[in-house]
Structure 1
Amino acid sequence: MKYRMVVFIVLCSLLSYGQEKWSLQQCVEYAIKNNVSIKQSDVQARLTRLSSLQSQMTLYPNVGGGVSTGYQHGLTEDPTTGTLVSSSFISGSANLQASYNIFNWNARRNSIAANKLYAQADEIGIDKAHNDISLAVANAFLQVMLRREQARISEVQLNQSRSQLGNTRKLVNAGSQPELNAIQLEAQLAKDSSGLLQAQALEQQALINLKAYMNYDFSLPFDIQSPAVESIPVENIADLQPAAVYQLAVATQPIQKMYKLRIEAAQKEAKAARGLMYPSLSAFGGMNTRAVNAKYPVMAFAPPDSTNAFVTIGTTQYKVFAPSVRQLGTVGIPLFRQLSKNFGQSIGLSVNFSIFNAYTSRTQWERAKVNVVQLQLQDEQENLNLKTNIYNAYQDAFSSFQKYNAAHRTVEYSQKAFDISKKRYDIGLLGTLDFIITQNNLYLAQIDEISSRYDYVFKMKVLEFYKGQGIKL
């Protein structure tokens, strides 16, 4: 019983969650948290932050050490005495080294500065990804609203055709109109039904595209909160002159800031590459010790033994005695005594310079300078693209505004024509085909008007976006 209650509560929660209607702000916030491209930008920024941190650590000395041990058998060199012995023993050693680059013509500091700038650029790249996905989500959101409005108009058209067919069928049954009129309206009704199904399918496709930008689970129910297109605030197009919008966009758009930082980073890299062509001064030091567990013989001198040999000095002969040495046993040297006795230290300075390395260093410097020029050209191209996009967006918005006004007038005239046609059709002064044509003209004019209205709103929102106002409905 408890299990069923839990399942019921979970299902109710999911149902209520699915029935929630999402505003544009909610869709954008969800997309920023879950969109894959934004996550990729965040990962890239984390990688460059790690590279920047690693380069900063080069300001500190390099310190390393090691401990080794091994077994040796037979004739081999004693690591503590340096003599060849025939024995079996275990030896060990320990060492600690440190080095520090004292001066390298600021190559290291320029590399650190370059990595910091690249990290800052990738952080701004996250903002660029946020802006890109916000604009894409806003466009997809408006597409859903457009498709939904088109479906609503198609449904109105279908209801009108159904109502007109009902009235005509009554007149046909009464004998005041021919059967052909009803058949023609039935064909129109079938066409309108197909148009409504197609409009509803396009609405679902628009919802799927919006879910894709948000990285939202396709299997979950989802719906948007559609404000009336007339209530969406739009600035006066006269206040969005392209030259003024461009000046604001250059100062506020993330991609322009990102390229400026990358150019500065590339210039630092070029200085670092040039510094590596000159000599560098380094300091180094180290400590080491070693020990073995070998046993060494303990020798003692005994009284000399007489031999049969004589040495004649002058006229006197002297008997030769041979010294006698005896081994009393073996003894090992204590470990800590060996470590202390064999402890060594070293310290010094080194100057490193390249005489000839197959033009590698100079080529790296030349490539770094070319990279600066390449980034400068990319920045110039991005500024040109931005200006082109803004001017095109302004012209598109102006054209959309004119198109919307024309479509609005077309709807007014088509509505008047339809009203007159309906009155004439009802009294039998207009044929069915002519009436259907007038009705279709009104339907197409309404579709064109709403499409032009949404297109104009989106074009204006793009201009507002470039102006730095973000996306809002």
Structure 2
Amino acid sequence: MQAQDTNKQWTLQECIEYAIEHNIDLKQKEQVQKSKEVDLNTSKNSWLPNLNASMGQDFSFGRSQSTNNVIVDQNASSSSLGIQTNMPLFTGLRVYNEIQARKLDLKAATENLNKAKDDLAINVASYYIQVLYNKEILRVANLQVELSKEQVNKTQALVDAGKVPLSQLYDIKAQLAKDEVTQTDARNNVNLALLDLAQALEMEQSGEDFNITDPIAGNPVELYMNSILPPDDIYNHAVSFKPQIKEQEYMVESYKKLLKVSQAAYFPQLSLYASYRTSYYYSYSEREANRSFSSQFKQNGQKGLGLSLSIPLFNRFSTRNAVRSSRIAIINQELMMENTKKVLYKEIQQAYYNAVAAQEKYNASEKSVEATREAFKYAEERYNAGKSTVFEFNDAKTKYAQSLAEQAQAKYNYILRTKILDFYNGTPIQL
């Protein structure tokens, strides 16, 4: 997917997919998720036995032990080799609960990544809708230029017929020049909005060919009115699946497992161990008495197998305090989860009332457009008949343009608000 494709017009869904694929913040959160996977793998491997090898080389001078276990004056050296393994049998369910906690941490990290994707999607949608709004304003500016050009031609005809003074031609040309400046500004605003969208998508090169589709046709209130649902209904649905809530729920459960990990230190720890050791001894004073390297390593071998039980009696209250800290962490996380739910409910309430207000404003703007359109038609007819001045005509045209701009603003603000409600309700963001 390349932004430089000639004449390609991007849909909102394509923009969101591209942003999710290339966003740096998301890539960082993906690495956090992978780190949690590594932590889980580490905890699972705690069940496995370890295996360690050791080697040693010693030199002694003066009095040392001979091959007959007698202390004599001699110089000697010894070499040793060993291998041992240890496997936990019972750890007070510490390992089991660690594994469960790491699984929950991984789920929480996954939900955190999902939330970042949701936030990015709504952010891209806002930039996308801003482009559509600026394009609508550009269309209004284009209309004003066309109307002014038309009136310049009509005024020229009126001047030639001697019905209006030449000054009115200059005035209408001046108005045309102002409209062309407004048109230029509107065109620049479209380009800037496209640039903001391209940057939000993390595009390295957007280019002049980058553009988007305009899928909105018809009355937006009729298209998106089903998105405006009571805030309580949206919240009751959202709280069951929104990633920020699921993340907090997983974190609470994780801290509960970590509490059991701390409590495991109260229990005895049982492990199985096995070892094999051998050595080689060499006396520099009794060289003729030294046995061969191979025979000593074979004869000096020592095997070991056993169980080790560790019973905690007193550890300076460290276990007790660790348990207390774990309980405090659970309470803090539960409070954080409740606060997240409250924030979500407030956001949904605000989104609902903003959408309702935007709908009312759009309905009012439609009436304003209709009224100013009729007023402009009447002013245009009077001007063409030479019964009004250019200032009266321009005033009516300006009010008509303002009402169109206000309608465009209300329209896209309403669309954005409904998309935010869709976002909270779990409906894919589409136009």
Partners of 2:63 and 2:158 in 1: CA distance: 122
Instruction: Kindly report which structure 2 residues correspond to 1:66-77, keeping only aligned pairs within 5 A, or say none.
Output: 66-69=54-57, 72=59, 74-75=61-62
Shift of 1:175: 4.4
Q: 1:167 to 1:230 in 2, by over 3 A?
A: same
**Contact 1:150–1:199 (CA under 8 A) maintained in structure 2:** yes
Tell me how far 1:235 sits from its aligned partner.
Answer: 4.1
Q: Residues of 1 paired with 2:199 and 2:285: CA distance?
A: 80
2:100 is aligned with 1:113: yes
Contact 1:234 1:461 (8 Å CA) reproduced? no
Name the aligned partner's letter for residue 227 of structure 1. P
**Residues 316-395 of structure 1 aligned to structure 2 (within 5 Å):** 330=288, 332-346=290-304, 347-353=306-312, 355-357=314-316, 359-395=317-353
The correspondence for 1:408, drawn from 343, 366, 371, is 366
Distance, in Å, in 2 between the alignment partners of 1:405 and 1:231 is 10
- The alpha carbon displacement at 1:440 in A equals 0.8
Q: Deviations over 1:45-95 (max 9, x none)?
A: 11111101101111122222223447x475485797695665475x53222
Partners of 1:79 and 1:297 in 2: CA distance: 9
Q: Choose which of 167, 185, 195 in structure 2 pairs with 1:198.
A: 185
Cα pair distance change 1:107/1:428, threshold 3 Å: same
* 8 Å CA contact retained: 2:224, 2:418: yes
Query: 410, 415, 421: which is aligned to 1:457?
Result: 415
8 Å Cα contact 1:229/1:454 also seen in 2: no
Aligned-residue identity in percent: 24
Q: Distance in 2 between matches of 1:446 and 1:454?
A: 12
CA distance in 1, matches of 2:66, 2:194: 78
CA deviation map 1:223-279 (0-9, x unaligned): 112213427773434862222111111112122222111111111111211222444
User: Any conservation in 1 of the 2:155–2:168 contact (CA below 8 Å)?
Assistant: yes
Please tell me whether the aligned partners of residues 421 and 438 of structure 1 are also in contact (alpha carbons under 8 angstroms). Answer: yes
Write the letter of the residue equivalent to 2:33.
A
CA distance in 2, matches of 1:134, 1:434: 47
Return the alpha-carbon distance in structure 2 between the equivalents of residues 469 and 393 of structure 1: 15
The structure carrying a bigger strand percent of its residues is 1
Contact 1:289–1:343 at 8 Å: present in 2 too?
A: yes
Change (3 A) 1:293 1:229: farther
Paired position in structure 2 for 1:61? 49
Q: Could you tell me which amino acid in structure 1 is paired with residue 128 of structure 2?
A: F
Distance 1:365 1:191 in 2: 74
1:257 aligns to 2:246 (yes or no): yes
Q: Given that residues 76 and 284 in structure 2 are in contact (C-alpha distance below 8 angstroms), is that contact kept between their aligned partners in structure 1?
A: no
Relative contact order, higher structure (CA 8 A, sep 6+): 2
CA contact (8 A) 1:79 1:290 kept: no
* 1:361-408 deviation digits (Å, cap 9, x = unpaired): 333222211111111111111111221122221111111111001001
Task: Give how far 1:33 is off.
Answer: 1.3
* Partner residue, 1:313: none
Tell whether 2:143 aligns with 1:185.
Answer: no
Give the alignment of 1:39-438 within 5 angstroms. Answer: 39-69=27-57, 72=59, 74-75=61-62, 86-87=74-75, 91-172=78-159, 175-220=162-207, 221-230=209-218, 234-237=223-226, 240-292=229-281, 294-295=283-284, 297=286, 330=288, 332-346=290-304, 347-353=306-312, 355-357=314-316, 359-438=317-396
Q: 2:228 and 2:195 mapped to 1: Cα distance?
A: 35
Distance 1:92 1:163, change over 3 A: farther
Q: 1:302 maps to which residue?
A: none
For structure 2, which runs of at least 5 residues remain unmatched after alignment?
none
Residues 83 and 277, structure 2, Cα contact 8 Å, conserved in 1: yes
Q: Is the 8 A contact 1:286 1:345 kept in 2?
A: yes
The count of aligned residue pairs is 427
Give the direction of change, closer, same or farther, for the CA distance of 1:49–1:231 in structure 2 (3 Å limit).
Answer: farther
The worse-fitting range, judged by mean Cα deviation, of 347-356 and 111-120 is 347-356
Structure 1, unpaired ranges of 5+ = 1-12, 299-329
**SS state at 1:180 partner:** helix
2-side partners of 1:174 and 1:82: how far apart? 139
Q: Is the 8 A contact 1:120 1:261 kept in 2?
A: yes
C-alpha change, 1:353 and 1:85, in structure 2 (3 Å) is: farther
Q: Give, in angstroms, the shift of residue 143 of structure 1.
A: 1.3
Deviates more, 1:461-470 or 1:45-54: 461-470
| Conservation of the 8 A alpha-carbon contact between 1:279 and 1:354 | no
Per the alignment, in what secondary structure is the counterpart of residue 223 of structure 2?
coil
Amino acid of the structure 2 residue aligned with 1:355: F
Give the 3-state SS of the residue equivalent to 1:290 in structure 2: strand
AA in 2 matched with 1:255: Q
Change (3 A) 1:201 1:75: farther
Change (3 A) 1:295 1:223: same
1:13-36 deviations in whole A, cap 9, x for unaligned? 989724211111211111121112
Deviation larger for 22-31 or 282-291: 282-291
- 2:228·2:418 contact (CA, 8 Å) conserved in 1? no
Q: Deviations over 1:147-180 (max 9, x none)?
A: 1111111111122223323332443455433343
Amino acid across the alignment from 1:375: Q
| Structure whose CA Rg is larger | 1
CA contact (8 A) 1:67 1:94 kept: yes
Q: CA RMSD in A?
A: 2.7
Contact 2:227 2:422 in 1 (8 A): no
